[in-house]
Amino acid sequence: MSDQTAPQDPTTQEPRPKQPADDLEPPGRTAEMSQEPDHGETTYAGSGRLDGKKALVTGGDSGIGRAVAIAFAREGADVAISYLPEEEDDARTTARWVEDAGRRAVLLPGDIQDEAFCHRLVEDAVSGLGGLDVLVNNAAYQMAQDDGLRGITTEQLDRVLKTNLYALFWITRAALDHLPRGGSIINTTSIQASDPSPPLLDYAATKAAILNVTRGLAQQLAEEGIRVNAVAPGPIWTPLIPATMPDEKVEQFGGDTPLGRAGQPAELAPAYVFFASQESSYVTGEHLAVTGGRLF
């Protein structure tokens, strides 16, 4: 993101993607991108809105998760980061940004497709942070299939459902034993929940389910004083995009939005900060769409 103190033209303030898709293996590493995303490293300035809070962010090594971790840290929160072991380099980079903000970073590698790991993840986050106030269910997997349903193997379907949906249930269920009154759960849904792209049928289905879970869980947990909300990104430039989409799709990524471009992770982070902060104390069961103008 460019200087936030000066007016910016939202149609041109960020570059359009130019990364060949075959350069990355899924889920993709930030360091391998020829055009790295903006996570707010040089632009996000905190103001103490999350002072003293302790947050767990899944998929915190790169993309949206890294931007959220950086923003949370600069707002005063300690952050535990969940990530796949093969994303260690990206995770350590995120941790350095958190620590540069003067906050504690806890690195928790593992595969959230495994239910036992999801339980350990929460326990280790609570142990490393000294508690838990905010849970961000952000990790996700997608793989575009131009053959539609015929191209979705059972192996792919299992990976998408377990990463995007099962893990959300497992991690959130474990976190309920630790979240206090005033705690916040923030789920990452997607524009795909309401406007599914045919090549992303399985992924879109999980994102629709996440939105529904957000609304239902918010009603379940209201009497416990725990709020549940969701952020719905549109096309956001992260390593997952060039790693899982064909070249021509990458070049056009985000071009169909009214603003005419893909968003950057740094442009999403303020939505997560809002839901984690006291400013949204009367908001639960809601979603905030950050889509470049595409209607949700």
Q: Whose CA is closest to 185, among 237, 145, 122, 133?
A: 133
pLDDT in tens, 92-113: 999 999 999 999 999 999 999 9
Residue 27 has pLDDT above 70, yes or no: no
Q: Label residue 2 by pLDDT band (50, 70, 90).
A: very low
pLDDT digits (tens, 9 = 90+) for 269-285: 999 999 999 999 999 99
Choosing among 1.20.120.530, 3.30.930.10, 3.40.50.720, 1.10.3720.10, the CATH entry for 50-290 is 3.40.50.720
User: Which contacts (CB < 8 Å, 24+ apart) does range 219-222 have?
Assistant: 219/285, 221/176, 221/185, 222/284
- Residue range 28-81, pLDDT digits in tens: 566 566 567 778 888 888 899 999 999 999 999 999 999 999 999 999 999 999
Provide the residue type at 76 as one letter.
G
Catalytic residues: 203
Whole-number pLDDT of residue 262: 86
Sequence spans of domains, the chain: 50-290
For 199-209, how does the pLDDT look when each residue is reduced to its tens digit (9 = 90+)? 999 999 999 99
Sign of the torsion formed by the C-alpha atoms of 52, 286, 284 and 281: positive
